[in-house]
Structures are given as structure tokens and as C-alpha cells.
Structure 1
Amino acid sequence: MNNIGVMLSNQGDYEEAHDYLVQALKIKRKINPSELAKNYMNLGVNYDKRGDTSSAMRNYRLALDVAIEENDHEDIATVYNNIGSIYHGAAQYNSAIPYLTNAVIHYRLAGDEVGEIWSSANLGSSYDMDGNEDSAHYYLFRALDLAQYYEIPSIDEMIAEKLHMYYRTNEDWYNSLKYLEIQIDLKDSLSNVQAQKEALRQKLKYDSKIEKVELKAKQEADRARDRQRLWFIGIVAALLAVFLGIVYSRLRVTRRQKETIEKQKDEIEEKNHEIVDSMNSAKRLQEAMLPSEEELYGDFEDGTLIYLPKDIVAGDFYWSHKDAEGSHHFAVADCTGHGVPSALMGVACENALNQAVKDVPNGSPADILNRTNDLVVAYFEANQEEIKNGMDLAYCKWHPTNKTLEFSGAYNPLWLWMTEAKEWKITKGDRQPIGNFEKRISFTSHKMDIGEDCWIYLFSDGYQDQFGGEDGKKLKSTGFRKVLESNVGQTGADQKKALELFFEMWKGNEEQIDDVCILAIKLISSK
């Protein structure tokens, strides 16, 4: 079944190939799970051909786990090469290089000369696109030397092409032309070999009397088809003449209709352009109101921000304030919905937060949220507007002198990753928003001493509510925590790259359903 699946995939029948490959995987899992690496790889290749890189990467990583456990250098090298090729194809050359380097190493350990040549050439190309001229030069020429040593003309031609592109990128026109000529000569040589094989096959064919009879029969059939084709062309020409007459009679009627439609289309496009321009202006104003990343976490050990609006303007926003006592206030807010209505609600709520910290300068997070809620409700009541939407948020106040953290939330929680204990400490927010709420109570403040280094995560629900993956389901909070946990040991900048890359791979072809906002800050304990 695995061979049939591979054959169907090579023929472009990816859906049927998928069924055979999945069935082969199930059988192999029962019979000999230690040989699952190739099954996972074949599934990954089929997904990659279909353009589903997220599923391809997942199967490649499963294959890598099995291959490493079995110490199978051939399979390890192939998986590394495939993953590196995906990153290379996505122009993520810095990510492709480590995988392709491992591919070269393991192909060498496996004694696979062809694999080592291909992976060396791919690695050299990635170094070239990443701007590392010396490494690109080394691996491309190593691949060329190996291909010439083992006399593999088809690979010689491929490497000559890469060297031509490498020297052209570096504006070394002499060597660029040199390897272009080598590539052309090799291609012509390969073409001549194929031509000689075809000539020999034709000679043998025409030496056979049976083949001569078949050729004569084919010629007769061709002449018969030509006669039928002429009759068909004559009939079609007559019908076409009649059709053109009808079309011409309708042209004068439809021309005026077309002109009217085109005029209306131009008017609509002009209005759409004006709307988009207005939205972009609103986006610039909204960005000007948001704090810089330096203001958010510049005074802390490390931090990062992931901010991915669904539309041009967003209802999610982040906020910070430093009071007279030196305490740091920071929050992530999520106004209901997205787009323009949500963004307008966000402006009102952000202004209310700014006023609230002035009204209660020494207040706890709960005091500030209570005051913010009063200001938002009063604002809409004064304008005789009914609040149909609200704001969820997580609010923190950090006292650097005594290493104490205070938190209060409107629906949204606080997640703390304790570095030494390697565990999550989750503090839930109150189950009420900022805005009108029937059973309104005062918000609750939670105060905690930071006894060990930790990472704070405040976020809206856009990341975990995103549909995607192989089954098109939501990531949910459990999956979100796993993504954070797998990257929490990295710097803030590297966490940002990893979280954004995972989100794009998880989302795949699905539409982004909501704004995404994640704020991560590293706190140093009092120890």
C-alpha cells in the first residue's frame, strides 16, 4: 500500500495517495513500529506537494523522532533535507541552514554519496540566499567535486546552474558566464545521450516487419482522422458564422450596458479606495496611541509582543503606565468583535484607563478596573448610547522595589511560567467585562511575591481560538500553553518568531478569525 501511495503521489493524485499512505501507516504501526519513519516521510512529501506545509512539517518531525530512535542515518538525513527544503522554499534561509547541515552530516554517515551531493548543493544555495558568501562557495564546490568524482552528469548540470546563480548574485560576471556555459554544455550532452537512445530505439523498431505494418496502419488511421477533422471544421465554421451574426446583432445593445456597468464599477472602486485610505489613516492614529515596545518592557529583563490585527484596525490593544512611585502598570485588552466598531470601543476604553490611573494614583489593579468601568459606562450614558459590547482585559502592577506583582482581570487570566519549578501558575480574572453587566461586583486584586524568575503572559483570545491544523479545529488554551512552554526557554525575540511562525502554519489556508495580542515579560525574583 505504501508503494501504491507513493506512485499515486508521483502521478499527482494526492487525495487517493493520502488514503493509501494513511492505511500503510496504520498497518506498519501494528506490524513493525520501528520502521515508521519512511511512512511518515511519504505522508509528509504528499502533504508538501499539496501545499499543506503545516501537515508536512508535523509528519516530518514524527519521522525524525522514529529515525533518531532507530539511529537510521539515511532516514534522519532525508527528513532533515525535506524540512530544510520547506524553509528554503519559504525564503526562511536562516531556519533552513541548520537542517540542511544535519542532512549533509547524516548522508555522509550513511554513505549515501548522491544524498550528500544534493543536500550540500541545497545548503550552499541557502547560504547564498542568506548572504553567507564563504559558506555558499564551500558547499556548492564540494557538491560539484563529489558529483564529478562519482560521474553523475545530471547532478553536475544542477550544481552548475546553482553556481551560475551564486556568482550572478555576487556580481562576478566572469564566473557566472563560465558556469552558465558549463550548464548549457552538460544539458546539451544529456540531450545528445537521450537523442542517441531514441535513434537506436527507432532503428530497432523499423527493422521489425511487424512494426512496419503497425506504422502503415497508424498512417491510414491518421488520414481517416484528418478527413473527419476536415468535415468537423467545415460544420463548426458554418455554425460559427451563424453564431457571429447573432452576436453582432447583440453587440450594439450590450455595448451601452457594458459602458454603464464599467462606469458604476469605477465609482465603486473609487469609493472603496477612499474607504481603505481612511482605514489606513485610522490605523496610523491607533498605532500612535499604543505604547512602544521599549515603554512596555524596556525596564525589564526581557520581553516580547505579538500583535496581529485581523483587519486594518483592531479591537485588541496593549497599554502601559509608570506611576510616580516607580511601579509598572501593563495590560492587554480585547474589545468585543474586531474591525472599526471594536477599534472605536478600544479608543474609549484606552482613554478610560489613562484617566483611571490619574483618579486613583495609588490604587490596586482592582481599584483601577472599577474606576475604568465607571468611566466607560458614564461615557456611553452621557452620549445616550447603549453599550452592546464590552472589554475583556488582564491588568498587572509590578513593584520593582519589593518584587511584588498585583493582578486583576476582566474575564482574562494571568499565566506565570515559573522557571525553576518548570510549571504554570494561572490566576483567573473575574467573570465580568468592562461595560454594562447585570450582576456587577467589584473586581478582585491578587497579590503575589515573585520568589523565583518567571515569565508573565497576558493575551487576548485570538491566538487560542484560531481554527487550523489538520482537522480545522481551534487550538484552545491547552494547545496554546504547549506552544508557549516549548519556546519559553528562548529569548523574547526568538519566542516572537516561533509564535508567529507556528500561528501561520497552524492557520494554513483558514481565515484569521480575530485579532491576536500576546505580551510576554520576564521578571527577576527577589532571591
Structure 2
Amino acid sequence: MYIWYYSQDYFHIFTPPMKLRTGYKGFILAAFTCLFILFSFSAKAQYVSPKVKLEAAENTISKLSEAIKERDKVIHDQKYLLEKKDREILTVQNSVKRLEINTAKMKEASKHQDSFLNVFLLAALLALVAVAILFVTLKDKKSLFKKLEEKTAIINKGAEDLQQKNKEVTDSIKYARKIQDVMLPTINEMKAKLPKSFVFYKPKDIVSGDFFWITEVNQKVFFATADCTGHGVPGALMSMLGISRLNEIVNEKDILSPAKILNELKSSIINSLSKTESGAGMQDGMDISLFCYDKRKMKLTYAAANNGIYIIREDKIISLEADKQPVGTSPREHMPFKESSFDLMESDLIVTYTDGFADQFGGPKGKKFKYKQLQQLLMEVKNKPVSVIPELMNRVFLKWKGKLEQVDDVLIVGVRI
């Protein structure tokens, strides 16, 4: 840098012994130096022309401008370097962020890979266990299947044997039904002794515990309607015992009093039951109504055990009461039966019955039919021909029962005088 200064008579260019520093600080130093020289020599200068002063000022300004430009260039270069450094720092920061993100992703992926690996290993282990179980199961299954086939064969054989025995039992019961039917009076026998009579007979099973019996001695018709203890085979056996004993008492022993007949029948049944251990102490026997109809005298003599007798005369029902004890074992078995008589009129309808019809469940509420409705039914059919009465009663019974099971044997017998 060069500096003009003034001597006594002219300007001299002074070159400092050392080069001034450039840049912002150099500029400030040069400016202060120029001002110092100007003021220092102004007092000593005698005269300087305006032209010289102007040239000196322009030269100084030019130098200052160059210094300013050089300063600006340095500032610009420094700014560029700073911006470059900032960009480099930002780039590094972005790289660090991307590296952190990638690292996090890699860690997450590693976790997923570990989880997937764990799941895969667990699945593989379960698959191995399943294969092992399947292998053992298949092995056991063959053994079980073989055992099952053997047991099935045994069961089928047992079922066939049971079916065969069932068939044999059923055939035996059907044969017993034939025997029971033989012992019961036929329609022709009934019509021969009691021409205007009907029988509504509906067993619950193949054989029945209800029975009716008839015989005639010296124009006296003896008729009984009985309900034995139980139904099915036990009841049927008791009924055949009752029929056999009645034939013996009346036709062989010639006992013709209804009360004496029942007393003899009770003693015979008790003696028969006492011969078996299974019968001891059981209240077995039958409820029975027995009457003797004297055709010549139009007289009815009767005795009854639990089951009474109805006499339907015109528009009313006369109920002949029964003794409150069965023919068989009971707390009152030592008491004799009572005998009563009743004068009959033409067109009277004698009705004997068991409890099967009255005890049948059915109707809209599933209740018992009961004796009141039975009496109403008898009043409705009393004037019908005796040949159609059983069918009319069967229709009423089936309608009342509906889909319910029949609970007991049913027997109703009517004799029109």
C-alpha cells in the first residue's frame, strides 16, 4: 500500500517499510494512517494546489475502494466457507440421522426376525409333537379298532341273542293271550246267557289283568268283572287264577251266594299267594264285582270288592256300593263280604266296570277322565243298540287319550234287561 505525503514544496509517495495487513483490520489501519498524515502535514504545508489535492484525494479514495472490495471479497469468501461448512455439517447430521433410522430399522427387523424365528421354532416343535402324537394315536387306534371290532361283534351277538329271547318272550306272551282268550267268555257265550249285553275290552298290553267271567245255574246267571293287581303278564296270571277259582267254586263246589263266592275266592287266592316267598306280605289280589241275575224273579243279588255296579234306569244312575277291600291280601282280609239285592225292571241297564277308563289321562289339560264323565258317557249311549256301544265308547276313549299312553287295562260290561 502506498501513501502520499507532503514535504515542504511538493508531495512525495511514501512506501512504508512493511506491507500493511489487508482485510477489514488493514482497511481500518490504512484509513487512520492517512488521516494522521494529512493532519500532521497540514500545519507544515505552505501551499498545495487544488488539483494536486483532488488527485491525491481521488487516489486515496481509489485505494480505499480497492481495499473495501478486497475486504468484501474476503468476507464473501469467508461467508462461502462458512456456508460450505454449514452444508457439510448438515450433510453429516442428515447422514447421522439416516444412520440412526437405518440402525433402528435394522434393530426392529432383527426383532421381527427373532420373533419369526421363535415362532418358526415353536411351530416346528409343535409339528414334531403332533407327528409323534399322531404316530402313537394311529398305533393305538389300530389296537383300539381291533378291540372295538371284537366288542362290536360281542354286542351284535348279544343283541341278536336278546332279540331272539325277546321274540321268544313275545311269542310266549302271545300264546298266553290265546290261553287267556280261551278262558274268557266268547261273544256267543255272552249272547246265549245275556242276549242284550255288550263288552268294551281294551287291554293295555298283549295280555290283560282285567277279566270277565260268566256262568249259568238253574236260570241264574252269575257274572263277574274283575281288575287284578298289575297289568300285563303279572295281571294276566292273576286273572287266569281268578277265572279258574271261580269255575271251581261255583260249578264244582256249587256255592251260589255272591258274598260266599267272594269269601271263598279270597281265601283261595290268599292260600295260593302264601305258598310263594315272593308273595308273602304283598297286597295282591283283585277288585271285583259279582252279581247273580235271577231271570224268573227279575232280581239282582250282588257282592262287590272295591268296584261297584251301576243300574241305569230311565234318566238316572243308581250306584250299588262295594265293600272297601280287595279279594286278596289286605289289612281287612279277615272281614267277610256283604251281600245285597236289587229288584230290576225291564229296560234297566246293568253296568260293571274296572277303573281303567276313569283313570285314563287325556283331554285338553291331560287330566283323568274320572267317573263323573264315565256316567255321562253311559247316559249318552244307554239307548243305543248294544252292538254299537263298544265302538262308541272306544272313539270317546281314543279321543280323550290323544297321544298319551294308555295307563291301564279297560273293561266295561253292560247288560240290558
Which amino acid in structure 1 is aligned with residue 337 of structure 2? F
* Contact 1:413–1:426 (CA under 8 A) maintained in structure 2: yes
1:257 to 135, 146, 151: 151
Task: Specify the code of the residue in structure 2 equivalent to 1:413.
Answer: G
Equivalent of 1:389, from 280, 284, 289?
A: 284
Q: Once the 2 structures are TM-superposed, how far is the Cα of residue 248 of structure 1 from its aligned partner?
A: 8.6
1:334–1:276 distance in 2 versus 1, CA, 3 Å: same
Where do 1:118-517 residues align within 5 Å?
252=146, 254-323=148-217, 325-358=218-251, 361=254, 363-382=256-275, 385-386=279-280, 387-419=282-314, 422-439=315-332, 440-517=334-411
Q: Normalising by structure 1, what TM-score?
A: 0.50
Cα distance change of structure 1 residues 380 and 290 upon mapping to structure 2, 3 Å threshold: same
Shift in Å at residue 305 of structure 1? 0.7
Match of 1:21 in 2: none
How big is the shift at 1:446?
1.5
CA distance in 2, matches of 1:485, 1:370: 33
For the residue of structure 2 that corresponds to 1:298, the secondary structure is helix
Q: CA deviation at 1:262?
A: 1.7
8 Å contact from structure 1 (residues 333, 460) kept in 2: yes
For residue 287 of structure 1, give the secondary structure of its aligned residue in structure 2: helix
Aligned to 1:14: none
Query: Aligned letter for 1:343?
Result: A
Specify every segment of 5 or more residues in structure 1 that has no aligned partner in the other structure, as ranges: 1-241
Count matched residues.
Answer: 277
Q: Is the 8 A contact 1:296 1:319 kept in 2?
A: no
Task: Determine the C-alpha separation between the residues in 2 that align with 1:434 and 1:412.
Answer: 11
- SS of corresponding position for 2:387: helix
Question: What amino acid sits opposite 1:271 in the alignment?
Answer: K
Q: CA deviation at 1:455?
A: 0.9
- The offset of 1:251, in angstroms, is 5.1
- Counterparts of 1:256 and 1:443, CA distance in 2: 63
Report the secondary structure of 2:198's partner residue. Answer: strand
Correspondence for 1:97: none
The SS at the match of 2:355 is: coil
Q: Is the 8 A contact 1:404 1:450 kept in 2?
A: yes
Q: Do the aligned partners of 2:207 and 2:236 also contact (CA within 8 Å) in 1? A: yes
Q: TM-score, normalised by structure 2?
A: 0.62
Cα distance between partner residues in 2 of 1:272 and 1:360: 41
Q: CA separation in 2, counterparts of 1:415 and 1:360?
A: 29
CA 1:270–1:471: 2 relative to 1, 3 Å: same
Gaps of 5+ in 2: 1-133
SS at match of 1:361: coil
Shift of residue 359, structure 1, vs aligned partner: 5.9
In structure 2, what is the Cα distance between the partners aligned to 1:300 and 1:382?
38
The alpha carbon displacement at 1:358 in A equals 3.7
The SS at the match of 2:270 is helix
In structure 2, distance between residues paired with 1:304 and 1:316: 16
Q: 1:390 to 1:442 in 2, by over 3 A?
A: same
Q: Deviations over 1:58-85 (max 9, x none)?
A: xxxxxxxxxxxxxxxxxxxxxxxxxxxx
Contact 1:418 1:452 in 2 (8 A): no
Looking at structure 1, the residues matched to 170 and 242 of structure 2 have their Cα atoms a distance apart, in angstroms, of: 24
CA distance 1:416–1:260, change in 2 (3 Å): same
> What per-residue deviation string (whole Å, max 9, x for no partner) do you get for residues 29-56 of structure 1?
xxxxxxxxxxxxxxxxxxxxxxxxxxxx
Q: How large is the RMSD of aligned CA atoms in angstroms? A: 2.2
Q: CA deviation at 1:382?
A: 4.7
Displacement of 1:462 after TM fit? 0.6
Is contact 1:321-1:330 (8 Å) kept?
Answer: yes
| Cα displacement (A) at 1:260 | 2.6
Note if 1:520 corresponds to 2:406: no
C-alpha contact (below 8 Å) 2:304/2:322 kept by paired residues = yes
| Deviation at residue 295 of structure 1 after TM alignment | 1.7
In structure 1, the residue corresponding to 2:240 is in which secondary structure? helix
Cα separation, 2, equivalents of 1:281 and 1:359: 28
Deviations 1:407-432 (A, max 9, x none): 1100100001113xx11010011111
1:144-171 CA deviation, whole Å, 9 max, x = no partner?
xxxxxxxxxxxxxxxxxxxxxxxxxxxx
- Structure of larger gyration radius: 2
Distance in 2 separating the partners of 1:343 and 1:423: 35
